[in-house]
Amino acid sequence: MFGAIERGSGRAFMKLVNQRDAATLLPIIQDFVRHGTTIMSDLWRAYGGIQALPQGYQHLTVNHSVNFVDPDTGVHTQNIENTWMRFKKKLKKSHGLNTANADRYSDYLQEFMWRQQFGDRKQSFFNLWNQIATLYPCLN
């Protein structure tokens, strides 16, 4: 999986990927991340070309072999790491992590992300109707 989370709003995207190389990840960043954004990541090799992309991203990193939060810049990846952990915990509790369910991971991920944005249980039901009403206002 690959994803990102916007600090402040908590808006996020998560995507299943077959490979975690630059050829796979950099186009996803270009599709999902607003031009000119400051991207904070660890030192995974695939992220090395972020700053060279034409969208004008600034790229700040944290070296996880030294610390989890860079003491000089405050850069960390704790928000997305926490989101991964919650998804994996939910997936394991609800559906198990066996390969028989692998073809459904995309569905589980989409549900998790929807609930992340719109709430869980009763709150999500209200938010679903609110979203429908917003997208399809009554015509008088």
Stretch 37-41: mean pLDDT: 95
Q: Is the pLDDT confidence value at 116 over 70?
A: yes
Stretch 62-91: mean pLDDT: 88
Q: Is the pLDDT confidence value at 83 over 90?
A: no
Buried b (16+ CB within 10 A) or exposed e, 84-120: eeebeeebeeeeeeeeeeeeeeeebbeebbeebeeee
Q: How confident is the model at residue 101 (pLDDT cuts 50, 70, 90)?
A: low
pTM: 0.73
| pLDDT value of position 140 | 44
Say how far apart CA 35 and CA 133 lie, in whole Å: 31
Contact 29, 15 (CB under 8 A): no
